[in-house]
Amino acid sequence: MNDDRDDSGTGDSGTDEAARGEMIRLAERRLASPAFAALFQQGMALVDETAAYLDGEGRTASRALSRAALAAYAQQSMRLSTRLMQLASWLLLRRAVAEGEMSGETARREAAKIDLKGPLRDMDQESLLPEPLVDLILRGYELQRQIVQLDDTLSAPSSTPDELRPNAVAGQIGRLRRAFERG
């Protein structure tokens, strides 16, 4: 039976099989996109910048802190380092999949071991910290937000072909092809 129903919602009943076969899988494409490459670079740069700060300027700045501020510095720098290592692990797993070095299933199993949510912000402690460390912490949370959003998209249940929306351009091309073949 030939089903010429239009699933695009336009009322045109001419959507062909080729259009249905060319579904757009945006979540999977994101890992191979320049946007993911930029996010990866941003994440790795933040890891490097944080390590440099904590080993250099931050170490010097921590010597001048009060006892309470020093305790906050130690706890928050550990949380930041842990958060960034979790995020870097996720980025490296996803890059390995995008470059064909690891299967998606293996990456999903390994990613399940990564805590992307981490502890909540402690603004009371942050108020005691040197400004450069607070800036790194805030940038770490922003990176975390972006990665969690992307991970949620990638972890969403895969749609079956019947649930995916047809590529609108492919549908239009199919209708044009049929019109020219008739004429």
Q: What is the pLDDT of residues 53-107, one digit of tens each?
A: 999 999 999 999 999 999 999 999 999 999 999 999 999 999 999 888 998 889 8
CB 168 within 8 A of CB 75: no
pLDDT digits 0-9 by tens, 128-172:
999 999 999 999 999 999 999 998 888 776 554 445 556 667 777
pTM > 0.95: yes or no: no
* 181 confidence band (pLDDT: 50, 70, 90): confident
Contact 57, 132 (CB under 8 A): yes
28 confidence band (pLDDT: 50, 70, 90): low
CA distance 49 to 39: 15
What is the CA 34 to chain-centroid distance, rounded?
A: 12
20 band by pLDDT with thresholds 50, 70 and 90: very low
Three-state DSSP class for residue 11: coil
Bridge partners for 166 per DSSP: 23
User: Could you give the residue ranges of the DSSP H alpha helices within the chain?
Assistant: 17-21, 26-30, 34-55, 57-62, 67-98, 104-111, 123-126, 131-155, 168-182
Q: Sketch out the chain's domains with CATH numbers.
A: 26-151 (1.10.8.930)
